[in-house]
Amino acid sequence: MVARISHWIDGKPWAGVAERTGDVFDPATGEVTGQVDFAAPSEVDEAVAAATEAFQTWRNTSLAARSRVLFAFRELLNEHKADLAAIVTAEHGKVLDDAAGEVGRAIENVDFACGIPALLKGGFSENASSRVDVYSIRQPLGVVGVISPFNFPAMVPLWFVPNAIACGNTVVLKPSEKDPSAANFIADLWARAGLPDGVLNVLHGDKVAVDGLLTHPGVRGVSFVGSTPIARYVYETGTRNGKRVQALGGAKNHMVVLPDADLDLAADAAVSAGFGSAGERCMAISVVVAVDPIGDELVGRISERMAKLKVGDGRRPGCEMGPLVTAAHRDKVASYLDTGVGEGATLAVDGRGHEVDGASTGFWLGPTLFDHVRQDMSLYRDEIFGPVLSVVRADTYEHAVDMINGNPYGNGTAIFTNDGGAARRFQNEIEVGMVGVNVPIPVPVGYYSFGGWKDSLFGDTHAYGPDGLHFFTRTKVVTSRWLDPSHGGVNLGFPRND
C-alpha cells in the first residue's frame, strides 16, 4: 500500500490537494512505499500564517507551561522511540540499531531543551545611575524555519525544534522529501504532549518550499543542515532577505593514526566511523591519515574487519550496514570507484562485490576501501557521502596536520595515539570545529554545541546546546526609573506560576 504523506499545518494533517508529489522508497527493496506532497507557495504562506498566529500566544506562555509541554513530549518520545526508529529504517535504510542510536541522541537534545527556562535569564544592574536600573532580557525571534537533511530524519529536526519552542518561537519544519514520515510522527507526538496548534508545522517539498521559507517576510530565522553548496545558498539567500541563518554544510573528516596508536582500536574505529549508516553522515570518517610506517599494517587490519561486515536490510537481525537512501545516490557514490581507480588510487576492497542479505532490487553498495589516495584526487576532494573510505599516507605528524588544515572543510576530525602530548598539541593546532582523541565520531553531547569551521558552517552559531539558545533568542536591554512604589494589596494565597 502506498501511503500519502502530507503537510502538518496548524495542528492537523493538511487536507488539500497537492499540485506536485514525489515518491518515497524503501531503500532495502527499491519499492515505492509513499507519495509525499510537495508544497506550493500557497502552502508555504499557509504554514507561516499558522505559525505567526500561534506565536502571539506562545511567546507569552509562561516558562512553567512551556516546560510541561516539553517534559510531556520527552516522555512520549521515550515511549515511542522504537516506533520512530522503525520509521527511520523504513525510509532511510540505516539498520535499526543505528536508527535507535539516532533517536537516543535526539532525546539528549530534548533533555537540554527541558532545562532551557533555567537559562533564559538576563542580567541586572541596580542603580546604574541615580534610581535607574538597567537589565537585559532574552526574547524569541518569532517564526523560524528548520530545513533538515535525509541522513538524520529524526535527530536533526530535534536538534532545533525543541530549543526553538522552549525559547518561545514557533516553527515551520521542512524535512527531506526522501524520508518525510519521521517529521509527521514527531509533530503528532508534540500535539499529544499539548503543544498548541500552529506552534509546530511541517511543510514537505523541494526547492520551492525551501525558497519560500528563505524569502518569506514572516520568517525571522532559518536553521539548515545539508551539503556545503546548498548551505552557502541558504545562508546567502536567507541573510539577503533579512533573516538570522545558521547553515551547517558538508565535511571531509580525517582520522589521523600515529605510529604509537593501538592499531586494533584504530582499525575498529575506522570501520565503525566510516561505514555506520552506510557513510551517510556528516561526521563519518572518510579519510584515514596513516602516519607511516604503520600504513600497510593498518590497511590490512581495516580490510579484515570490512570483510566480516554484514550488509543487508536493516530490519533483519545481525545486519550492520544498510542500503543507500536512493538509487540515484547509490549510483553517484558507486561512480567514485571507477574514478578512483582511474586517478591511480589502489582499490583495496571493492564494495560492489560484497554479499548482501536483502532484495537484489535494493540500493546496495558494500563497504569500499581505497589506499594510496592523493590530495589531488576526487576521492579526497569531494564529499562522497557513502561507504567509501580513503587511506592517505603521511610522513610525519606535521604532514598530517598540514593536510587537514589545508582542507576546505572543518567539521570533525580525530587522532589516535597513546601520546598525551601529541594529542594535546593536535587539539590545539587543528583547524576543525569538533575534535576526537581516540574517539572517531566526536559529536558533542546535548549540553555542548555541534558545528564545524571553514566551509562546514555558514553563520556565527553552532547547533543545539548553548549556541542553540543564543540563536533562537535575541537580547533586549531595558533602562528604567521608577519614582513611586506600587502596592499590589493583600493576597495570602500561595503564588502561582501560571
- Where in the sequence numbering do the catalytic residues fall? 282
Angle at 27 between CA 22 and CA 31, to 5 degrees: 65
Q: Please, is 24 exposed, middle or buried when counting C-beta atoms within 10 Å of its C-beta (0-12, 13-18, 19+)?
A: buried
Please answer whether residues 113 and 165 qualify as being in contact, where contact means their C-beta atoms are separated by less than 8 angstroms. Answer: yes
Alpha helices by DSSP H, 93-206 = 96-114, 157-166, 181-192
Residue 335 φ/ψ region, left for φ over 0, alpha for ψ in the -120 to 50 degree band, beta for the rest: alpha
Q: How far apart are CA 330 and CA 440, in angstroms?
A: 24
Please answer whether residues 417 and 263 qualify as being in contact, where contact means their C-beta atoms are separated by less than 8 angstroms. Answer: no
The greatest distance separating any two alpha carbons of the chain, rounded to the nearest whole angstrom, comes to: 85
495 half-sphere exposure, CB direction, 13 A CA radius: 3
Distances (CA, A) of 339 to 333, 383, 397, 407: 10, 14, 29, 20
Element (H, E) at 391: strand 388-394
Q: Across-strand partners of 35? A: 4, 23
Tabulate helix, strand, coil % of the chain (nearest 5). 40, 25, 35
The set of cell numbers assigned to 341 is: 581507480
Element (H, E) at 182: helix 181-192
The set of cell numbers assigned to 8 is: 502538518
The set of cell numbers assigned to 481 is: 526609573
Question: Phi first, then psi: what are they for 481, rounded to 5°?
Answer: -135, 125
* Exposed e or buried b per residue across 469-495, where buried means at least 16 C-beta atoms within 10 angstroms of its C-beta: bbbbbbeeeeeeeeeeeeeeeeeeeee
Distances (CA, A) of 38 to 35, 176, 182, 206, 453: 9, 11, 16, 7, 33
Residues in the chain: 498
Three-class secondary structure of residue 31 per DSSP: strand
- Under 8 Å CB-to-CB from 306, ≥6 apart: which residues? 271, 275, 349, 367, 369
Three-class secondary structure of residue 55 per DSSP: helix
Q: How far apart are CA 283 and CA 442, in angstroms?
A: 8
DSSP state of 176: -
Q: How far apart are CA 446 and CA 113, in angstroms?
A: 9
